Chain A
Amino acid sequence: MARMKFVCDAERCIECNGCVTACKNENEVPWGVNRRRVVTLNDGVPGEKSISVACMHCSDAPCMAVCPVNCFYRTDEGVVLHDKDICIGCGYCSYACPFGAPQFPAAGTFGVRGKMDKCTFCAGGPEANGSQAEFEKYGRNRLAEGKLPACAEMCSTKALLAGDGDVVADIFRNRVVQRGKGAEVWGWGTAYGAKQAGQPPAGAKS
């Protein structure tokens, strides 16, 4: 098996935040922590693009490199996980991560960061698979239940793909070949005119 990976298809994402909700519900993520977020570029401009972002389970993870207490580990499936019993909440990983994946609970003593929390690819943590202790610290272990991450399985447009890297790459490649690419895919050119479609004004960002 290749590595487990997420791919988000920006042509399909409709910014419904279903993935965010599914993640929060499935893993009972505490208030103030979003393991997954939907980022929209050029919001409100014809041709705007949204993408769902969480931990990308990097092949060369910067968080692992900077952690001073070595709390991260990578599973055989390529999922980057961490041990909350070792984490000291220093926050180095959040500075190192280019995707803003590491999160820290807002509730707690003023000025004190709690244990880091991030997307686990619904693979739990070092506690026994499917145990209550694992669920309370890391959320549900869906991989051990033979399921894919809840965010991708709940995605209404199948913009967010998750699973074996070879499989999701294959699905995405086939999709692009079938539909073509560019602004014509969803009829932006028809709706707003070919000149504007997919070409927001320079410097426009949300």
Chain B
Amino acid sequence: MKRLAMLVCAMAALAAMSACGEKPQTLGAARTDAAPYQGTDNAFAAPGWTKGDKTSWEQGLKARAQNSQNEYSRTGSPSTSK
């Protein structure tokens, strides 16, 4: 009886230990990406916004979209949407 109890304990310990060697198999999420408003270190950045300032970057892009893609804003149409 004592031998059986020891065997059961040994088996339980073995089962408990087996999980320790298990490697996690979860899918790794993609690496984090720096936000674009953080800017770059190269010399090609558009002027008119402050690197690291999200609001400034957003306003810069909005102004760029209006100026470069909306010709109605340049012709001064009364119903120009901005």
User: A interface vs B, CB < 8 Å?
Assistant: 1, 69-73, 75-77, 81-83, 85-86, 123-126, 128-130, 141, 143-148, 152-153, 158, 161-164, 167-168, 170-171, 173-175, 177-178
Contacts and interface: CB of A to CB of B under 8 A. Distances in A.
A73 B62 contact: no
Chain B interface size band reads: 35 or more
Interface in B43-82: 44-46, 48-49, 57-58, 60-62, 64-66, 68-72, 77, 79-82
B23 interface: no
B33 A148 contact: no
Q: Is the interface of B mostly helix, strand, loop or mixed?
A: loop
Q: Which 8 interchain pairs have the tightest Cβ spacing?
A: A130-B40, A163-B65, A146-B46, A143-B36, A73-B30, A126-B31, A174-B81, A144-B36
Contacts of A147: 46, 64
Contact of B61 (A71, A75, A163): A163
30 contacts: A70-B27, A71-B30, A73-B30, A73-B33, A75-B36, A83-B30, A85-B31, A123-B36, A124-B33, A126-B31, A129-B36, A129-B40, A130-B41, A144-B37, A145-B39, A145-B46, A147-B46, A147-B64, A148-B64, A148-B68, A161-B69, A162-B65, A164-B58, A164-B65, A167-B66, A168-B69, A170-B81, A171-B81, A174-B70, A178-B72
Contact of B38 (A144, A162, A177): A144
Interface of B: 27-42, 44-46, 48-49, 57-58, 60-62, 64-66, 68-72, 77, 79-82
A71 B80 CA distance: 42
A163 B69 contact: yes
A6 to B, nearest CB: 11
**Do most interface residues of chain A lie in helix, strand or loop, or is the interface mixed?**
mixed
Contact of A129 (B39, B60, B69): B39
Contact of A125 (B33, B44, B66): B33
A1 B41 CA distance: 24
Contacts of B39: 129-130, 144-146
Nearest to A152: B69
B64 to A, nearest CB: 6
Contacts of B68: 148, 153
B79 A177 contact: yes
